[in-house]
């Protein structure tokens, strides 16, 4: 057979090599992407499935370069442009929480950021059955709660970060938004536009991955 069609079969080695290189490139890209998502989560930002990959990588690079203001500005611009569509989407995923999401949106638009941040964070906890911010035993409760169909999606949530660290450890992290300091009244300056969007980004991520893996 190879004698009859030598040129045809000759091409298979190059195709196989091309696919091998593509697979290596894809895995390398995926590693960079996952690392970028992790870096942004360390800075208090969680990505949306409507966010361009290039923007995610660019924001992570800014974080690596310790340009926290640039990270906050870029992520804030994205979530500001997507604010209403995100609320609409998560309301469709969790219709029983629609009025709560709507009230949080109103508070945010009216610049009542203390209220919007609190509501967004509380809903993250509710959707995760009260396990979102429990860090005991390296977040064992949350790990057991989250669906496992695509467990890599859970990675940004199951690592202890500034958002859910203990109050006495919060200063060690890159993001100053800490759920425990907010809920228990230790932080009296959390009511900022940036923190409201950070809380929304976490809520949006939780809604997307929990619903995506459960249904």
Q: Could you report the per-residue pLDDT of 60-118, keeping only the tens digit for each? A: 999 999 999 999 999 999 999 999 999 999 999 999 999 999 999 999 999 999 999 99
Here the tokens at position 64 are 């690596």
Instruction: Please report, for residues 76, 156, 161, 179, the alpha-carbon distance to residue 136 in angstroms, rounded to integers and kept in the order given.
Output: 31, 17, 13, 15
**C-alpha span between 206 and 98 (Å, rounded):** 15
DSSP 46-66: ---TTS-HHHHHHHHHHHHTT
Residue 18: per-residue pLDDT: 53
Average pLDDT over residues 43-51: 95
HSE-up of residue 127 (Cα within 13 Å, Cβ side): 29
Of the pLDDT bands very low, low, confident and very high (cuts 50, 70, 90), residue 8 is very low
Q: Can you give the pTM of this predicted structure?
A: 0.86
């Amino acid at each position: 057979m190879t004698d009859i069609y030598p040129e045809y079969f000759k091409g298979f080695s190059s195709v196989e090599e091309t696919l091998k290189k593509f697979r290596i490139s894809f895995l390398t890209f995926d590693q960079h992407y996952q690392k970028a998502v992790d870096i942004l989560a360390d800075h208090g930002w969680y990505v949306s499935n409507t966010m361009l990959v290039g923007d995610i990588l660019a924001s992570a690079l800014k974080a690596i370069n310790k340009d926290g203001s640039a990270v906050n500005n870029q992520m804030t611009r994205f979530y500001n442009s997507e604010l209403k569509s995100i609320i609409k989407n998560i309301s469709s995923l969790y219709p029983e929480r629609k009025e709560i999401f709507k009230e949080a949106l109103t508070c945010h638009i009216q610049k009542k950021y203390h209220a919007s941040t609190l509501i967004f964070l509380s809903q993250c906890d509710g959707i995760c059955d009260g396990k979102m911010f429990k860090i005991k035993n390296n977040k064992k409760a949350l790990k057991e709660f989250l669906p496992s169909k695509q467990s890599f999606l859970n990675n940004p949530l199951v690592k202890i970060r500034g958002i859910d660290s203990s109050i006495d450890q919060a200063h060690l992290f890159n993001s100053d938004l800490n759920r425990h300091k907010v809920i228990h009244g230790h932080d009296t300056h959390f009511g900022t536009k940036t923190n409201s969007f950070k809380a929304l980004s976490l809520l949006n991520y939780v809604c997307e991955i929990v619903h995506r893996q459960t249904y």
